[in-house]
Chain A
């Protein structure tokens, strides 16, 4: 049995313009469109392709959060995942806690690969995969733009600041996805119907014995400093002259 575990985080849709609440207690999420974290869609797509090539037999999607996360898990099932697990957590879960929860599931499911996004586009943490790999004492290949599997090894090309880097990691391993890894498929209506019959188990934090109490406290949310309104110039001559005035040329 070669299983792949995929993390699906529920986040505010990437196209939403985020507004900070006036009292600084958070961002406005009421009535805002929610979606699967885009990097996690890429992770699931990659898992499906690995299964199509015969390197995996089962794909399990995992979401940690409130009941609403079921929506994203159902979408994941409609994309083609075989089974879903919801780990119920009503308060915000920090990456270390998410990694500890995922470790418990790894111990239960013994996957050969855990595929996660490189970052959640809400908190922009970019931590969970690396933390899980540390706790599990297994390799990590972050920011993947290509994954090839052979003989218990994943050859992963990574997008790093200086260019591309290729690693061989022994399986099992944690792989986190970058944007160029693939283009996720669209969900078709019949698949949404089929997904309703696929198994979705719900676990409580207590079932897993994980304490998810946050270590950090967020004191305040503020909007970013805004830039002052600029000028429009008519032509290239105008552009060059304003650049000179500003002393940047």
Chain B
């Protein structure tokens, strides 16, 4: 039987939706008992949200002033001490999970599996390599704890409606003081979150300036969409780095993805492979983005975007 521990990701008292998606991954493991651990200064609010996810048996809260910020070096020894009672330890493959879980795995002396995209059995999983250009089937040793991150674009969020027990645990683990948070500049906006939005409009190098990116913003507003970008647009400083979509940015699976002035390099495409409908607007008919687009429109974005917006407004 599998006993799965999921490490909750949260901020400002809100459970990150990536946690509910990790629950769905765990639910795909036959007979799994699923617990969620919430590390915080005060975990109560987040624990309530976690306990409401269907399929969760128990929520463990670990309240400690040192857990006010999610520092991998501080959390890892605590997770490792909880892990002893579990066959599987999961976290979402977000920057939070990617930072934390390898540190946990090393403390446990086990390897880690990154980006589970499909569960074949309790020890057999599929994951992407080479920017998603190959999918490997991996067998993990059954006699050790499996530590793994979950590719959240591959799983729907678990529904609410559950009613798990919440239990506070005290851990007697020495915590390091060598790592200190100085500052966090979270770009908070009213726009939908890129990682969970059902619609995303992305701009590339062709936007040519930060000012021109307002074209992307206003189309996104019309569509109720989140904003994304290619690496070239981020490198050029048109938008902040947290909007980068792709192999080394965010992997997303919106219902609608609109790529504007993006060529479609493999590193970008791997970030959108699971999108429902991909629309490409590009002036080069040979751009590789058209090989994956469901709907392609060849032309100049500076003419197309204003027209598209007014057509949508008219409807």
Binding site for B on A (CB under 8 A): 12, 14, 17-18, 20, 27, 39, 94-96, 99, 118-119, 121-135, 137-143, 145, 155, 158-170, 173, 178-180, 214-224, 227-228, 230-233, 235-240, 242-243, 246, 248-249
Contact = CB atoms under 8 A, between A and B. Distances in A.
Interface stretch (B48-56, B163-171, B183-191): B183-191
Contacts of A240: 308, 311-312, 315
Interface in B117-137: 124, 128-137
Interface residues of B, number: 86
Contacts of B195: 161
B248 A179 contact: yes
B95 A161 contact: yes
B133 A224 contact: yes
B273 A224 contact: yes
A95 B95 contact: no
Given A158-B95, A159-B242, A243-B277, 7 more contacts: A18-B266, A94-B111, A121-B248, A124-B128, A126-B114, A140-B73, A215-B110
B58 interface: no
B229 interface: no
Main secondary structure on chain A at its contact with chain B?
Answer: mixed
A103 B139 CA distance: 27
Contacts of A129: 102
Given A18-B134, A159-B242, A96 B311 contact: no
Contact of B234 (A99, A180, A233): A180
A230 B264 CA distance: 15
Most interface-central of B136, B234, B298 (chain A CB within 10 A): B136
A165 B101 CA distance: 19
B208 interface: no
Contacts of A160: 95-96, 184, 242
Interface of B: 11, 71-73, 76, 94-96, 98-107, 109-115, 124, 128-141, 144, 176, 178-187, 195, 231, 234-235, 240-242, 247-248, 250, 255-256, 266-267, 273, 276-279, 290, 292-299, 304, 307-308, 311-312, 315
Contacts of A131: 102-103, 105-106, 112
Contact of A119 (B176, B248, B308): B248
B181 A216 contact: no
A243 B26 CA distance: 35
A243 B129 contact: no
A223 B134 contact: yes
A231 B296 contact: yes
Contacts of A179: 231, 234-235, 248
B136 A95 contact: no
B103 A130 contact: yes
B106 A130 contact: yes
B68 to A, nearest CB: 14
Contacts of B138: 216-219
Contacts of A215: 110-111, 140-141, 144
20 contacts: A27-B133, A124-B129, A131-B106, A134-B104, A158-B95, A162-B11, A166-B183, A168-B180, A178-B248, A180-B234, A215-B110, A228-B294, A230-B295, A232-B298, A236-B307, A237-B311, A238-B297, A239-B279, A239-B295, A248-B277
B94 A161 contact: yes
Nearest to B273: A224
Contact of A217 (B139, B241, B247): B139
